[in-house]
Each structure stands twice: as structure tokens, then as C-alpha cells.
Structure 1
Amino acid sequence: MAETLARATTDLATVGVASPRVDAELLAAYVLGVNRGRLPLIDTMRGDELRRFRELVARRARRVPLQHLLGSAAFRHRDLAVGRGVFVPRPETELLAGWGIERIRPGATVVDLCSGSGAIALAVADEAAPGRVLAVERDPAALAYLRRNAAGSAVEVVAGDVTDPDLLAGLRGAVDVLLCNPPYVPEGTAVPVEVADHDPHAAVFGGADGLVVIRPVVALAAVLLRPGGVVGIEHDDRHGTQVPDLIRADGRFTAVTAHDDLAGRPRFTTARRT
């Protein structure tokens, strides 16, 4: 087993996979049907297992996302079904979800815009005590994953476009917490192969300046939030001043605050509805 993992790690490192050893171990654990921590207790793979493992390593070497190969992505306390057609949730978004969860009072109404796989909405439903959680997504392929992940939960799935000013018209002035991880990478930005070839373009790129979706999200948040309600919007690390300035310029928010991720890069901005 040690030699098999070492060879896979070398193969993945050679093509530039960022975490070759971890990926090799996760693929091995997946094939064997065990927790990654049990791998040191396993001496070898059987023939069929070894063939399957090598196939998966070869696909990962072609930069197919690890989460697509495993069929799931971890987000806070959940494993979410993901695959082609839906954005793979990133660890940095857990910070935005956590910020929102800390501000949700029992019975609150929470909206997750650009929900994708439903990562934020499901974390909110799991970890807080909201009265309602609505997850909004427009893309049909992403909606299929969102509905699959939300099945059996309290999350209400809404097919809708966040650029529509009439979206969720029945909730105007009634939302307590609004969270959004929109497409925000400026067009033309170089991104990893896993993102460029496998994440949906529309879920990654937000126009020439990366703010094409964020602008209407700010306006929609101002309409949906009750007085005193709060909004959190994730953004590109180059938007550390632009997004706070956009929110301030709207004129309907106070307590505009920029937040960094764990690497010290600007990552999301929050504000309170006046």
C-alpha cells in the first residue's frame, strides 16, 4: 500500500496537483470504502481495487476535480453531492456561512442567493434554528444538485435569477439574514484547470470587473432585508474596497465591514440594513 500511494503521489505532483498526497489517500480510502485514517492499517489493494484506484488517479492527473471523482464535497459538517454542472463549494465560504449562522436568531428568515449546491443554506439549516431558509439558484444543472442535497431538509429551493428585481417579492422587508456567494472572478482571470474546465463558467466569472452579479445582489438585499437585517456577500480578493464601497453607495446600509479569509485576503463584506 505504501508503494502504491507513493507512486500515485508522485504522478499527481508531476502534473501540478496542489495536494498530491492528500488526494491520493482520499482516492484510496474511497476505493477501499474506509476512512482515510485507516489506510495505515491496510497492507495492500486487491486486483479490482487497484485497477479502480489507478483509473481514478489517472483522471485526477488530468485535473478532474477530486470532488467530482468522489462525488461529494465537504462543507462544514456536511458532505454535499457535486459533479459537472455545479460549482464545488470552497473552504473559504465556510467563513461567510459561519458569520451568518452566528447572527441567526430562532425563527429567523434566511435567504441564500446563488446557492449552487446548497452549501450555505444547508449549513444554516443544520447549525442554527431559523424559521425559514430559502436557497435561490437559476441554473438547471445546479438546481438538480441543490434539490438532491436539500431533500429531506427544511431548506426551500427557489428557481430564480438574482438579477431579477422582483425575485422573492413576497418577502420584501421580511428577511433577517441574506447570504450570497455569487460569481465574482473577473473575466480573463487565470484560474486552475479544475476550475476552468469543470466548474460552470457562469458560477465563477462575474463580468469584466467581477461585479456584474454583486451589484444587483446589493440592491436586492436592500429590498428584502427588514430594518436591522444583515447581509454577507463573498467576493474576489481584489474587491476588498470595491464591494464595501458599492454597499455604502447604495445608501440603505450601515455597519459595512470587510472580512479577510484565513490567508489574510479580502473575502467577504457584511452590512446591516438601516
Structure 2
Amino acid sequence: MKRQPLRLAILEAMRILEEAGVASPRADAELIAAHVLGVDRGRLPLVPLVDPPVIEAIGKLVAQRAKRVPLQHLTGWAGFAGITLDVGPGVFIPRPETELLVEWGLRLIHGREYPVVVDLCTGSGALALAIAHERPDAVVYAVDIDPNALAWARHNADKQAAAGDTPIRLYSGDVGDSTIFAELDGLVDLVVCNPPYVPPGGDLPPEVVDFDPPQAVFAPDGGLAVVRQAVATACRLLKRGGGVAIEHDDTHGSAAPALVASRKVLTDVQDHRDLAGRPRFVTALRG
């Protein structure tokens, strides 16, 4: 079997993915090739020729991606804020724009010893595990109501703990439950939350509509129902000087900050834009 140029296979993959409407055809083609070869994406130029079975394996995954199966489902992982999370069917795939929320939270607790952090709607465990990775002295709690998401979060938490990170404390519960984490009332330095926030009927790409669990994406009350619950819970949990950061839909650039500002105990309400310049998350401090 004659070896073939990897570069040509990647170019063909890019063409197929671009025709299928994939937003990042080059990156996805290269990441698929790197996954098949078992190398980092940056090392692909060091692999000029590959065997025909490699070309075939790349082609099969590209065909799936062209059907808009998420890249992370094909590779089995998602990079997020300096950590790698295992993901797949049944759990929301973390997005790069949410890393900005993590960065804000880490700045807030910088210099605080043994900060207490709560991640509401943890999903895959992304926010909680990213913060625990950066702050091994933090005591990090995380909660989700979906048993499938919790299974993924537990898997990722066990994997990260086995790698040497401080374990997080993972719970099953409803963010709207007024007794959740009652033992932490007034003791928390940071509350983070990436809740379901898309208004029902929102226009979304197939990767989200067909593969992300709908209960992790859509919310009633124009997408603000769970955001509202998270704000109420944060008001109860936060200590003075503690902070909350909640992601929201890009159509909530006014509604989400107004909702937070309506709580008298929260001050310094600010909305933040994502990597594309769209309104993405709101923050506030406990006065």
C-alpha cells in the first residue's frame, strides 16, 4: 500500500466540512487528523505521509462531522480553561467563551486563602474542575439536577483527582431549591453558573439542537427562569465581598443585569462580552 500525503487528506476534509456548513472547517479537519494519528494538532506538519487506513479513518470521521455531529463527540473530549474534559451524548459541551467567566472568578478569589466556590448547573463539571485545577486550596462544590450530566461530571472529577487535583464535592439537586447548600449560607466566596438560558425556539446550529441535551440549553421565561433561580441562590450563599458570575443568552444583555441589579444585596453589577463581542455573562458582588 502506497503512503499518501496527509496534507491532501486534510484539504479534502476542509472542503467537505466547508460545504456542510461547519463553522471552523480547517480547525476541525486538523483536529480530526490529529485524533486519528494520536498526536497534537501542532505536530501534523511532522507527519507528511500516512498509510491508506489512516486516510480512511479520517474520511469516516469527517463524514460524521459533515452531518454536524459535534467534533467533541467524535474525539471524546473538550479542552476548557486549561483542563481536558471527557464529553459525549447526554452532557452539554463547554464552549470557549465560558472561559472568560472562569477568568473573572479566578481574579475575584485571587489572594483569598481556602476560598469556597459553588458551581450551579455544573454539567460536565467544567467550571468547578477548571477552578479547582487553578486553585487547589479552594473548596469547590458543584450541583446539577440531570443524572446523565452528573455521571459525566463524576467521571471527569474522578479523572482529575487521579491526576493530582483537589477533589470537588459533587451533588444532585435543583438550583431552584431554596434549601440547596443551606449549610453554606453566607460562607461562599464565589458562585459561578452556566445555566440553560436559550429562549424556547431560539435559532441554534445543528450541533446544539440535535446533540446537546435540551434541558441544558433551553429555559422558560424567555430563557431567564434558571438565571433567576441562580441569582436568588447566590444572594443566599455569598459572604460579604463574595461574587457571582452567571452566563446568559446574547439577547439578555439588558435583561440579565437588570435581574441581578434588582437584588439590593448585590452591588457592582456588570455585564461582560464574549470573544465575539456579544453580551455573555453578568457579574456582581455581595454588599
**Fold shared by both chains (TM-score > 0.5):** yes
2:132/2:138 contact within 8 Å kept = no
Which residue does the alignment assign to 1:120? 127
Which residue does the alignment assign to 1:32? 37
Which residue does the alignment assign to 1:80? 85
Q: How does 1:138-217 map to 2 (within 5 A)?
A: 138-151=145-158, 152=161, 153-217=166-230
Identical aligned residues as a percent: 52
239, 252, 269: which one aligns with 1:239: 252
Superposition deviation, residue 44 in structure 1: 2.5
Which residue does the alignment assign to 1:55? 60
TM-score by length of 1: 0.97
Superposition deviation, residue 51 in structure 1: 2.0
Distance 1:18 1:74 in 2: 18
Between 99-108 and 85-94, the greater mean CA deviation after superposition: 99-108
> How big is each residue's C-alpha offset from its partner over 1:235-272, in whole Å with a ceiling of 9 and x where there is no partner?
11111111111112122211111111222211111111
Distance verdict in 2 for CA 1:235–1:33, change over 3 Å: same
Superposition deviation, residue 142 in structure 1: 0.7
Displacement over 4 Å in runs of 4+: none
Distance 1:155 1:42 in 2: 39
> How big is each residue's C-alpha offset from its partner over 1:119-142, in whole Å with a ceiling of 9 and x where there is no partner?
111111111254310111111111
Distance 2:63 2:50 in 1: 17
Number of aligned pairs? 274
Report the AA paired with residue 132 of structure 2.
A
Match status 1:99 vs 2:112:
no
> How big is each residue's C-alpha offset from its partner over 1:189-233, in whole Å with a ceiling of 9 and x where there is no partner?
110000000001011111241101011111111111112211111
Distance 2:92 2:132 in 1: 20
Distance 1:98 1:59 in 2: 33
TM-score by length of 2: 0.93
Which residue does the alignment assign to 1:250? 263
SS at match of 1:268: strand
Structure 1 runs not aligned, ≥5 long: none
Report the AA paired with residue 97 of structure 2.
E
Superposition deviation, residue 43 in structure 1: 2.5
Report the AA paired with residue 251 of structure 2.
R
> How big is each residue's C-alpha offset from its partner over 1:93-137, in whole Å with a ceiling of 9 and x where there is no partner?
000001001111221100011111111111111112543101111
Cα RMSD for the two superposed structures: 1.2
Report the AA paired with residue 113 of structure 1.
L
Superposition deviation, residue 38 in structure 1: 1.7
1:108/1:129 contact within 8 Å kept = no
Which residue does the alignment assign to 1:42? 47
4, 25, 30: which one aligns with 2:9: 4
Which residue does the alignment assign to 1:225? 238
1:112/1:179 contact within 8 Å kept = yes
Distance 1:177 1:52 in 2: 44
Distance verdict in 2 for CA 1:178–1:130, change over 3 Å: farther
Distance 1:165 1:124 in 2: 25
